[in-house]
Amino acid sequence: MLLVGCKGLILASHNKKSDYIKFLKELAPELSTCEFGELISRKLPMLKYVIRIDDEETPGMSNFSKLLVSAGSAEDMATLDKVMG
């Protein structure tokens, strides 16, 4: 039974003991071949948006700093509407 339908995830890449990116890629290997916002995952069917808080780039994810730089554009507002929808 699905209790929470999380569409987006903002995460650090790791901490001292855990590699969050590796863990997420194991749960959703589809991230490696999708564009940001277009994730279709068998194990995480509601998740569409994965945002890293650091600057390293990862396929299927965006970086928080990039979203801040472009925030406010018409395209970003459309994406925000889609995420909130």
Angle at 31 between CA 4 and CA 79, to 5 degrees: 65
Per domain, the residue ranges of the chain are: 8-84
pLDDT value of residue 2: 53
The more confidently predicted of residues 72 and 22 is 22
d(CA 5, CA 82): 15
Q: What is the pTM (predicted TM-score) of this model?
A: 0.75
Phi, psi for residue 46 in degrees, rounded to 5? -85, -20
Stretch 52-71: mean pLDDT: 86
Six-digit token pair at 71?
Answer: 């925030």
Q: CA geometry: angle at 60 spanning 59 and 61, to 5°?
A: 95
Render the burial of 44-65: b for 16+ CB within 10 Å, e for the rest. Answer: beebbbbbbeeeeebebbbbee
Answer whether residue 68 shows pLDDT above 60: yes
The pLDDT assigned to 28 comes to: 93
Residue-wise pLDDT tens digits, 4-54: 678 999 999 999 999 999 999 999 999 999 999 999 999 999 999 999 999
- Alpha-carbon distance values, 13 to 35, 70, 85 (Å): 19, 22, 27
Categorize the per-residue pLDDT at 78 as very low, low, confident or very high, splitting at 50, 70 and 90.
confident
